[in-house]
Amino acid sequence: MSTLFLRTLRDDPADAEVPSHRLLVRGGYVRRVAPGIYTWLPLGLLVLRNVERVVREEMAAIGSQEVLFPALIPREIFEASGRWADYGDSLFRLTDRKDVDYLLGPTHEELFTLLVKGEYSSYKDYPLSLYQIQTKFRDEARPRAGVLRGREFIMKDSYSFDLSEEGLQASYRAHRDAYERIFGRLGFDYRIVFAVSGAMGGSASEEFLAPTPSGEDTFVQCTNCDYAANTEAVEIATPPAQDAAAVPASVVLDTPDTPTIATLVESLNGYDWAAAGVAEPPTFTAADTLKNVVLRTKAPGGEWELLVVGVPGDREVDMKRLAGQLEPVLVEQAGPDDLAREPGLVKGYIGPQLLSELKVRYLVDPLVVEGSAWVTGANAEDKHAAFVVRGRDFTPDGEIGAVEIRDGDRCARCDAPLQIARGIELGHVFALGRKYAETFGLTALGPDGKPVTITMGSYGVGITRAVAALAEQTHDESGLCWPREAAPADVQLVPTGKDAATLAEAERLAGELVASGIRVLLDDRKASPGVKFADAELLGVPTILILGRGLSDGLVELRDRKSGERRDVPLAEAVSEVRAAIAG
Ligand code: ATP
Ligand code: MG
């Protein structure tokens, strides 16, 4: 370590929001160049290369072959797939000296498809799986948390090419299994969750998430069965349809001064129901009100159109969840201009009774079940309507999972309570289908001489992100705590004595360990034992071997970084003890 290019820091970097960022900077693993742009220092690069090694080994094991594409891509290739426009501000665009447009690749579906099209033409060539480990560029709106969300980052992206649906399913399965081995070997605690496919369109789609409180992704897991989904894809149990036979006819109520759902509920429970002709009114809660939220949607190439979404009044609309389901159609809150174009919509008093007449598209959350009765707007200033029944007083155009999921919502599979947790997306497996093959005309000549369009899968792992996610999941209050496969070294040797003999013994032992194939970090710096111990904890090498006072009795101290367990072992057995620690 006296010659290692390393400076550990005592203080946290000012911009560090999460532990992994703090510790990777303090431990001298990475250094920031600009927002979302980082340099990897020797120790950091060792961890990064370990992640890559595990990924390469497991990709090879499923027969995927490595290639390497350029990051610099001509505009027309992304123009052909529509992503030059679709990627919007997240795409880094640049121009060459001849004024020709280029981009820096955010992912490489287009190039993989074109490459295979250029080389292969017969059904006999398939199936095929290719991957690369390469630097990607995305001008993320919020580069965050160090290398967790970078603007330049390393990704493993692979693609499978199959002739049939069954072939794609097998390729998808093989990748999913490989990912389980990759994240298992690297020492992750991970969950596989259902996901929606996002900007790429397609069917089967799952994410590998590392649960951690600082994760940006919210997901839902069942407390009973193995169902897990990200909040965009989650489905929750809904109550059974209701019989509305006993529900009174709907009535319009005067409800002045009820700007919020709380004030509306208060007014309902103090209402003169007898005067409204209702003999036995129920006690109302916010969950009995139907909130109608005005949004606008835009299909690719289309115009903005109004969409009203109805949810129980005690719930919020989850825009991310809606966006995930409507993709590639865009959705956002409607503005005053949108509302002004539809005078029939009375802000704050919108009720579904009128929407079909206005020809405004109306979708309800599945919690608004057939036969359920609601208090909702009466489409006039200061007026609400009660006992408005789905299927009797209004019929929505369809259903869409729109409510923000809560802890305790029920699992759609087994009805047990669901739990909300946060995680970091490590990887994504996704049955892409024929979208890119159709766009670029990737076909194979079948045995009957007819062309077959290839069906593809796309599979990503965030390599740089994995390093930070691992740090995030495994650190403790003293520092990093690398799992064995990812660690920059197997053992850190810490000679504490000031005498030359201790250092000489440490060097001899280091040589012996290296000779038996063990990766050693030797702290031969002229620093105090306190500094050396603190740095050993901070750097997080899994096994620490201390050569100190006990050396005169032929003893060294073996410490386990993770458990903190420490014991003296005879110097003569140090190598076999370290080997045993590595074997676990
Ligand atoms: P996110 O939702 O986190 O932005 P994504 O859905 O855009 O991710 P993909 O396009 O599926 O991600 O990319 C594959 C993998 O690349 C992700 O699972 C993630 O691990 C990694 N990744 C994506 N964006 C970044 C980034 N900005 N920095 C580091 N890694 C990233
Ligand atoms: Mg992204």
Ligand 2 center to 460 CA (angstroms): 11
Strand segments (E) across 166-260: 191-194, 205-211, 217-222, 228-230, 251-254
Note the pLDDT of residue 342.
85
Residue of 532, 533, 564, 542 lying closest to 480 (CA atoms): 542
Per-residue pLDDT of the chain (584 residues), as tens digits, is: 999 999 999 988 888 889 999 999 999 999 999 999 999 999 999 999 999 999 999 999 999 999 999 999 999 999 999 899 888 899 999 999 999 999 999 999 999 999 999 999 999 999 999 999 999 999 998 887 889 999 999 999 999 999 999 999 999 999 999 999 999 999 999 999 998 744 444 468 999 999 999 898 889 999 999 899 988 888 899 989 999 888 888 999 888 888 889 999 999 898 888 888 888 888 999 999 999 999 999 988 889 999 999 999 999 999 988 988 888 789 999 988 888 888 888 888 999 988 888 889 999 999 999 999 999 999 899 999 999 999 999 999 999 999 999 999 999 889 999 999 999 999 999 999 999 999 999 999 999 999 999 999 999 999 999 999 999 999 999 999 999 999 999 999 999 978 889 999 999 999 999 999 999 999 999 999 999 999 999 999 999 999 998 999 999 999 999 999 999 999 999 999 999 999 98
Report the distance separating Cα 192 and Cα 180, nearest Å.
9
Ligand 2 center to 22 CA (angstroms): 23
**For 352-368, b where at least 16 C-beta lie within 10 A, e where not — what string?**
bbbbeebebbbbbbbbb
Note the pLDDT of residue 203.
61
Question: Count of CB atoms within 10 A of residue 555's CB?
Answer: 19
Ligand 2 center to 139 CA (angstroms): 10
Query: Which backbone phi and psi does 262 adopt, to 5 degrees?
Result: -60, -45
Ligand 2 center to 149 CA (angstroms): 8
Report the distance separating Cα 377 and Cα 374, nearest Å.
10
Report the distance separating Cα 83 and Cα 85, nearest Å.
5
Note the pLDDT of residue 200.
42
Ligand at minimal distance from the CA of 459 is 1
Q: Which atom of ligand 1 is nearest to the CA of 149?
A: 28
H/E segment holding residue 359: none
Residue of 561, 459, 461, 458 lying closest to 53 (CA atoms): 461
Ligand 1 center to 425 CA (angstroms): 7
Report the distance separating Cα 528 and Cα 328, nearest Å.
60
Cα-trace Rg, the chain: 30
Report the distance separating Cα 502 and Cα 472, nearest Å.
35
Q: Whose CA is nearest to atom 28 of ligand 1?
A: 149
Ligand 2 center to 205 CA (angstroms): 15
Strand ordering across the sheet containing 92-95: 72-74, 101-104, 92-95
Which residues sit with their C-beta closer than 6 Å to ligand 1? Answer: 107, 138, 140, 149-150, 153, 155, 425-428, 460, 462, 464-465
Note the pLDDT of residue 15.
83
Strand ordering across the sheet containing 373-380: 251-254, 383-389, 373-380
Residue of 273, 18, 292, 321 lying closest to 145 (CA atoms): 18
Query: Exposed/middle/buried for 462, CB within 10 Å: 0-12, 13-18, 19+?
Result: buried
Residue of 175, 124, 130, 173 lying closest to 452 (CA atoms): 124
Look up residue 81 and give its two tokens.
């797939």
Which string of DSSP letters, residue by residue, matches 56-101?
HHHHHHTT-EE----SEEEHHHHHHHTHHHHTGGGSEEEE-TT--E
Ligand at minimal distance from the CA of 150 is 1
What ranges in 327-398 are assigned the alpha helix state H? 336-340, 355-358
H/E segment holding residue 426: strand 418-433
- Token look-up 């193995």 returns 226
Ligand 1, pocket-test mutation among 425, 467, 473, most atoms within 8 A of CB: 425
Ligand at minimal distance from the CA of 138 is 1
Whether 4 contacts 18, CB under 8 Å: no
Whether 321 contacts 295, CB under 8 Å: no
Report the distance separating Cα 89 and Cα 91, nearest Å.
5
Look up residue 330 and give its two tokens.
């865009």
Q: Whose CA is nearest to atom 18 of ligand 1?
A: 427
Report the distance separating Cα 424 and Cα 442, nearest Å.
34
- Token look-up 């009128």 returns 354
Residue of 173, 133, 130 lying closest to 153 (CA atoms): 133
Q: Whose CA is nearest to atom 22 of ligand 1?
A: 462
Question: Count of CB atoms within 10 A of residue 519's CB?
Answer: 15
Note the pLDDT of residue 281.
85
Residue of 512, 464, 513 lying closest to 489 (CA atoms): 513
Q: Whose CA is nearest to atom 3 of ligand 1?
A: 425
Question: Count of CB atoms within 10 A of residue 510's CB?
Answer: 19
Note the pLDDT of residue 460.
97
- Token look-up 């033409």 returns 121
Report the distance separating Cα 120 and Cα 114, nearest Å.
10
Where residue 72 falls (left for φ over 0; alpha for ψ -120 to 50; beta otherwise) is beta
Look up residue 472 and give its two tokens.
């995030």
Ligand 1, pocket-test mutation among 20, 175, 465, most atoms within 8 A of CB: 465
Report the distance separating Cα 204 and Cα 155, nearest Å.
21
Largest pairwise CA distance in the chain: 100
